[in-house]
Structure 1
């Protein structure tokens, strides 16, 4: 059983990797692409465009998580990858701004697949190993961000501004084929039947852990919103403050991805043997807030590299530990819904973050571009820190399997 679980986990992580490469390709390209001569998006339009994906995902993620609880993980993942493929094709073929919005809506509707793959991890992982497995999920995310932004920058600079979107469509379609052929179903028929019996979403908030789940959701929302404000402005910050193009921004995001792999694939595993998740979530939120506060002071490449370290470290600690906490305090029958709610909370943060960032960016002079929204993002991370220190949790010794 242990070998089967490891094989299945490897397939799940590979699926996440391919998905996140496609997602990461868009990050350094879309803000400058939409603001360019073809579309001429205003700050308000750009904020909505960048947040639209997450707004639709906010609505769809709990529904997708619930659906995966009832019909299984594999068919939901396959369908979501097909929709993602369609969204990227429309984005690459777009000639008007509304077509970019349509593409983001379609991609957001299928974006609940992250909640489903996280539920797959919860299906095959014992409770005392959840945060470690979520750390591996984070490492797969990080590797996707290593390859994705670099590919996006190179394809945009060397071929055409729209080339990254077509490449991401090919990746998503290949991922759909991979899921159809190799991906095993991780949810048993018995548990699907139990999920039909407990389908209402309100079941998540019944019991002694309802307050903890609610607090985790709010902390996750604040942390993600603060981080999203930075990522929304990162390409524009680099262009307007430092004169960097899309390729340089892609390389910097690749650097952040490498740090994320080291943190979530190695450091987090080490720290979880010595600290409880509550402490790591609080520590990560505080470190992230510190990095965001320092970012507007960067005026050269070296200082930017230095400040990205605490930003990557803080985000790398807080995200998997909050997901692990949410998973551990929920029963197996509602795993998909709880993780779907976590995804929805993160989606709300990724929607509000761009809107707030683009609304506040006008407060800054050109030489201070991005300072106010990034500092507001740091304040939101401090809110997450204050909530994390209230989590009631006792140390759970790692099992022998967890340390293997």
Structure 2
């Protein structure tokens, strides 16, 4: 892992995953009203600023545990990384810290899409800090840092069973976590004024397509980045082809639904399908044969395209479909492994045991994240207020919250003498 090639890939992968959060900003920014684009993008950049600082101070320390029964690691065990920066293996160790930070950042940033067009920035940053601390940091410990999810298979079926929860790159810790929290916040903040199907169209489709392209580009670091820790990086090829294939199949699945339902495939639908495929393959990228990854991508495109319509029937306003994409896609990819994981899935040489631990892990994270986000969001709303006023929402959040406009289209031309 300390070979120059491995280290170079680690730095590259870290940069790729960090780029995904500006990608989220572009993706979300193009989908909102022109008068809310600054607010939407600032929520992602605010998450970068705060979560990166908190991860360095104590988040990384919380993301590993010595005992699977621990809720999280001691936040003061290596406060500010003073110990990590001075130990003999600091070069490699700090790279792991930086890579982990990018996952924490994008998880929290994803949630912002659920409350687009109606959230205050200050309360959002409070939510980011508190949720990162008791939402993401402990869950990272559960999934990757020696916690109960990592040990679930051994507890249920014995240490020699070979059964363990598979979540290679974040189906539970990132996508189910963010999607469940997004559902909770959408309920806390309530519906946008005039909420109904077709309430608004994306104000800048090219911006959204650019954001999706950056996400897809960065996702190769997201899924394959951790391979730098392996001596031979032996699964990089499999992860890369599955990441590409699932996203491509997701496009086809989504636009098929659009063609059947509305008669026309859309560009926003196509890139949403790509994101759906990427979300679903995230936990499964290293444990599926490429053909099964293609099927997963297609199914995720179809399932998520259908799921985004549910909010209108159930009456919750998840503005940019974080629930439909990330919660549904994350659940699908995590549970799908129970059926098709290479050598362990129910239909690929295994039995029901892997499916059982996958379902328990997914359900546990979903319930915990929803409850935590609901309590934090409700507390903020009832004290300092989370939502902008009706007048500010109608006028557009950008000027009211940030004093800026995304597009200065009304400027008078300057006379040239």
TM bin, normalised by shorter chain, reads 0.3 to 0.5
Of structures 1 and 2, the larger Rg is shown by 2
Normalized against structure 2, the TM-score is what? 0.32
